[in-house]
Amino acid sequence: MLLSSLSPQIRQYLLVTGNYWAFTLTDGALRMLVVLHFYSLGYSGLSIAMLFLFYEIFGVITNLVGGWLGARIGLNNTMNIGLLLQIIALSMLLLPAQYLIVPWVMAAQALSGIAKDLNKMSAKSSIKMLVSQEAQGTLFKWVALLTGSKNALKGLGFFIGGLLLTLLGFQLAILSMALMLLAVWLFSLVKLKQDLGKSSGKPKFTDMLSKSRAINILSGARMLLFAARDVWFVIALPLFLASQFGWDHWTVGGFLALWVIGYGGVQSIAPKLLGSKLPDGKTVTLWAALLCAIPALIALALHYHWQIEAALLGGLLLFGVVFAINSAVHSYLIVSYANSDGVSMDVGFYYMANAMGRLLGTVLSGWLFQTAGIGACLWVSSGLLLVTVFISSRLAQPAARA
């Protein structure tokens, strides 16, 4: 009765958000399951990173092509396709352990990468269609809430992944997630609006590349921003916590879960933290500059063996707060800058750059940690953020939005 009293726009927003939440839980849990399970089997950091190589590569392709596809067939269809592909990817990992060879796991991760970015692109693009152009404050709040809650649930997924691996083992954990997502997919097929996000025309394949200067600049900054995060967070950090601090699966998964949950919480309240003024190019530049120094300070503490555990964990918490503000501002600006007709193409192009950053960060994280340690990962992170500041500063120029 309560749902029926809500406006159609609110009901669709809740459906989109619910789909995104359910998917994100399985995505976070699956990543933690794969990292910890294959580390326990004796895989090196670089080898584990390679398991996610196709996940990130296909994420790049999916965001670009998926934006065009969403404009042609509707965002409801691309979101449901993403849910189905994730179910298939999880099912591929249900084979007995002796058959889970590296190429097979990489193929499953490739499908999961396609699924994740179809789902995310669809969810982020949908909000543009559900909020009027004049209500930019509402748009910022809705985008921040969707993005923040997603990351909080991804953190919960990390926790669930570590917990399920400890309690059920790898295969039963995968099976339980596949069944849950199957129920969500069936509900979404029935309830999601059928023409959500479909372009009024038939966009050409060549229209996938953004022609907006602001979106191109923002995309470049986003790529480096996420490379700077993942170069030390995605592979190096969990392996460092396990190998140097002696943390078990439960502790590593639980801590990273709490970090990402807190990170998502900060994203959700970013509009309140930033005040009544809407973010712009200057906001992006300022917060990127604040973020730049944090990995370098952590690296210095590790180099001089100064309170290593406190410096790493405290620095990680500070990094999470500042990075969350950066990400929330970025997520709002891309939806604000995007063209309403065929919004998924602009959003898809932007998240293609995001996926390229994750790909770069993931490969560098495994390679640098294996060859030079987590300190090198942190110095590279700081360097990437310095370039992010330079690129972001171009958004502060008056012509950036043209």
CA dihedral 256, 116, 395, 284 (to 10 degrees): -20
C-alpha radius of gyration, the chain, whole number: 20
399: pLDDT confidence band, cut at 50, 70 and 90? very low
pLDDT in tens, 64-94: 776 667 667 777 778 888 889 999 999 998 8
For residue 40, pLDDT over 80 is answered with: no
pLDDT of residue 371: 87
Helical H segments across 93-212, by residue range? 102-130, 136-167, 170-191
pTM: 0.72
pLDDT of residue 218: 86
Q: Which domains does the chain carry? A: 3-199+207-401 (1.20.1250.20)
**Tokens 């982020």 belong to residue:** 124
Q: What is the mean pLDDT of the chain?
A: 79
The residue type at 210: S
Question: What is the three-class DSSP state of 160?
Answer: helix
pLDDT of residue 400: 45
Cβ atoms of 93 and 108 closer than 8 Å = yes
pLDDT in tens, 269-319: 888 888 767 777 788 899 999 999 999 999 999 888 888 888 898 999 999
Backbone torsion region of residue 173, taken as left when φ is above 0, otherwise alpha when ψ lies between -120 and 50, otherwise beta: alpha
Q: Quick one: what percent of the chain has pLDDT higher than 90?
A: 16
Region 125-129: mean pLDDT is 65
pLDDT of residue 91: 92
Give the residue with greater pLDDT, 366 vs 192. 366
Give the residue with greater pLDDT, 155 vs 265. 265
**Tokens 């809740």 belong to residue:** 14
Neighbours of 207 (CB within 10 A): 18
Cβ atoms of 397 and 281 closer than 8 Å = yes
Backbone torsion region of residue 218, taken as left when φ is above 0, otherwise alpha when ψ lies between -120 and 50, otherwise beta: alpha
pLDDT of residue 196: 58
Give the residue with greater pLDDT, 27 vs 381. 381
pLDDT in tens, 243-270: 888 887 678 777 887 888 888 888 888 8
Cα separation, 58 vs 54, whole angstroms: 6
Task: Please give the structure tokens belonging to residue 16.
Answer: 């989109």
Task: Please give the structure tokens belonging to residue 106.
Answer: 């990489």
For residue 340, pLDDT over 60 is answered with: no
pLDDT of residue 351: 76
pLDDT of residue 321: 92
Backbone angles phi, psi at 307, to 5 degrees: 45, 60
Give just the sign of the alpha carbon dihedral 156, 93, 351, 46: positive
